[in-house]
Amino acid sequence: MPFHPRAWRLAAPLVVAALLLPAGVTMADDHEMASDDSWLPSLITETPQEGFALAVTLAQKGVATTQPDAEVRQDLRPEYAEDPDSLTAASQVIATHFQTVAAANDYWRE
């Protein structure tokens, strides 16, 4: 089932950060993220749980890159925070990143 265009527009750049972080917690300072080119030295993680955390981080970084103004992200939160289509789309973004991390880690096979 295709997503409504508005859900895609909101979900891809914004939903992940707002819905995954507890209230009152913000992502890293936008300037720090923009100036630190070494925040992702590797996709390799020790465990699937660490891989999932990395997938969430990748989604958050994507949000901050797409909309670098933290105030704008916060202002838009009420518009999408309770939208089921946005929640589903946010989960899909994380799942896609997790697939990439899992493949990079050979699915944690020993």
Measured in whole angstroms, the distance separating CA 11 from the mean position of its chain's CA atoms is 10
Which residue's structure tokens are 């089932």? Answer: 1
CA distances from 101 to 5, 43, 98 (A): 28, 6, 5
The pLDDT of residue 105 is: 97
Q: Decide: residue 104, CB within 10 A, 0-12 exposed, 13-18 middle, 19+ buried.
A: middle
The pLDDT of residue 3 is: 44
Euclidean distance between CA atoms 69 and 46, whole angstroms = 33
Instruction: Kindly list the domain boundaries of the chain, sorted by start residue.
Output: 5-20+45-108
| 14-69 pLDDT per residue, tens | 444 444 444 344 444 444 444 556 889 999 999 999 999 999 999 999 999 999 99
Q: In a 3-state reduction of DSSP, which class is residue 38? A: coil
pLDDT class for 80, splitting at 50, 70, 90?
confident
